[in-house]
A and B are shown apart, each in its own frame.
Chain A
Amino acid sequence: MIPETQHKLIEDKVGAIGSLPTLPDVVLKITELVNDPNSSMRQIESVIAVDPVLSSTVLKVVNSSFYGMAQEISALRLALVILGITEIKNLVLSLSVFRLFSRGTVTADFNIKEFWHHSATAGQIARSLSNKLNLQFAGEEFVGGLIHDIGKIVLFKVLRNEYTEVLHRVKAEKIQLHEAELETFGFHHGHVGGWLGKKWHLPKKLIAAIVYHNNPTDTEEHHQLVGVVSLASALTHAAGVNTDTSMQALFIREHPALQMLLENTIGLDSIDWERFTLELGTDVQKSVEFVSLSQESLWKNSKQP
């Protein structure tokens, strides 16, 4: 999935230094259960219930405008029935990654708040796009958007000084971030995110979306998810929450991810882009709610024993 050369470079440069957080067991256990045809909903429910902070946060998000449910969903079991086990699995994954990385210092060079604002909006736009295109992702598109830039956090945490220099260069010279990263390290944040995703045993689809979001046409498989996440990330520019300072005007109809999606998706050419982008403010609002609600729920409760 990640090119061999980059994988080795990252192992040497990032893996050797950093002690990176591991995903909680709950994510692995749920993934196993979801993939096991003999598992029961009761089993999945009890795995999530082991972590009361997580399960109450899942319910809060499910009942927020983020999902816009007509009725209140009062129990995990009901959420699993109504939204489906895959959707809930992906929500648990989203919340777990967010929990691991959402606290951090805000510096002039790396603003963790803006980072998550951009990422959650990309996730939400990916959801809207998938709805529009009738793509059945069951939540992978949201996680994909939410964690597509996770490699940036890793680079900032592990190689802070070198990475800060790269960020400065990007700002001053108006060059693309992933290309500046490639020049400096021999790999970019997509590679690093994919490398971490592999360590975390994330599905290959998601790893592809992370690795190729900057150059979507390089992917050999999972064209739809890669395309949707890449396009959603670009659209955050139109939504006013892009963290990439090098981007100028976005010509959505010329975006390579769109060209790739056109070849792989029926009905895409009928998207009214003016209408879609004028509606992006709704996606921004939803992602703000996701971030603030999850953060509040995960932190407030995390202080309890």
Chain B
Amino acid sequence: MAQGENKDMQLSKDLFQYVRDYLYEESGLYYANYKKYLLEGRLLKRLSHLNMTSFNEYISYIRSSQSEDSELINIFKDIAKSESYFFQNTSQLKALTEWVIPELEEKKSEKHLRIGSFSADQGEEAYSLAIALHDFFGGHRKQWKIQIVGFFQESERLAMAEKGEYESYAIRNASRKHILRYFDKVGAGFQLNNEIRSLVSFQHCAGPEDLGYYGRFDVIFCRNRLMSLGYSLKQTLIRQLENALRLNGILFLGQMETLHNLEHDLELCHFPNTLAYVNKIQGES
């Protein structure tokens, strides 16, 4: 172990690259070099939780047979938890309103937009989408038939989402204008008003296989969910997501997530500051 590691608890460049590459190969989650501090912070939390004093010790623990994959799962759970807030990825929302919808507008004869949210949160994403689209369409929304469906495997999270009530932590990224316009103060927290809640429906979904029952989507968001699954489940989920996308439908993942090491037929595409995957194959409807 490097001398002084206990003192300042910084991840050395080599160790950072080792852990980063390990996470990437295992989960498709990629911490870029300029995001080293994020990974450092994430791991430090786990270290202190486990009463460990060095990164070396912790990394052996991740890789040790007794912990199997469970420590990785803990990291992913932490990420999903800390990334569950409103307007978590504004680049994706911008891509949706500035590029995806105008493109649909040109191509589609019927103005029908179906968005699915299959993310590891409690409805924050589905509601953020509803707010962004409400802002974007303004008075023209009547011309469009918009459907936003949030899918949950756990009934607890489904219930939370349906309630639409959040702590102030969850709306830290929302603008004052949005909070005043769309949220009501309820006790210590905030509840979304009916205007936004009526735009979103929530569904219980026992597993990825169930996605097939809900028809096809123009856009699907699947944030921080793939990474915590084992390989074969991940593979099943991605194939189901693929099937649930319309021709030219788009899949957005978490900010640092990729489909690395997975078999799929989607095409990688880029919008400013965000990558996505597009279904270019016409499936059976």
Contact = CB atoms under 8 A, between A and B. Distances in A.
A248 B99 contact: yes
Interface residues of B, number: 23
Contacts of B229: none
B270 A282 contact: no
26 contacts: A237-B270, A238-B270, A239-B273, A240-B272, A248-B99, A249-B103, A249-B271, A250-B269, A250-B271, A251-B269, A251-B278, A252-B269, A273-B268, A274-B268, A274-B275, A275-B24, A275-B30, A275-B258, A275-B260, A277-B270, A278-B258, A279-B33, A281-B32, A282-B32, A282-B34, A285-B34
A253 interface: yes
Nearest to A283: B34
A148 B30 CA distance: 31
B270 to A, nearest CB: 4
Contact of B260 (A252, A253, A274, A285): A274
B275 A278 contact: yes
Interface string B265-281: 00111111101101000
Given A240-B91, A275-B30, A281-B32, 9 more contacts: A238-B270, A239-B273, A240-B272, A242-B272, A252-B270, A253-B268, A272-B260, A279-B32, A281-B34
Contacts of A273: 268
A248 B105 CA distance: 14
B112 to A, nearest CB: 21
A43 B99 CA distance: 54
A249 B260 CA distance: 20
Contacts, number: 67
A233 B270 CA distance: 13
B39 interface: no
B32 A252 contact: no
Contacts of A242: 272
A238 B272 contact: yes
Given A242-B272, A251-B267, A275-B24, A281 B260 contact: no
A275 B21 CA distance: 10
Nearest to A274: B258
Nearest to B35: A281
B153 to A, nearest CB: 26
Contacts of B260: 272, 274-275
Given A248-B103, A249-B99, A282-B34, A277 B275 contact: yes
A22 B259 CA distance: 49
B247 interface: no
B26 to A, nearest CB: 14
Contact of B30 (A235, A237, A249, A274): A274
Contacts of B34: 279, 281-282, 285
B256 interface: yes
A272 B99 CA distance: 25
A34 B273 CA distance: 40
Given A275-B24, A282-B34, A249 B270 contact: yes
A250 B273 CA distance: 12
Interface string B104-142: 000000000000000000000000000000000000000
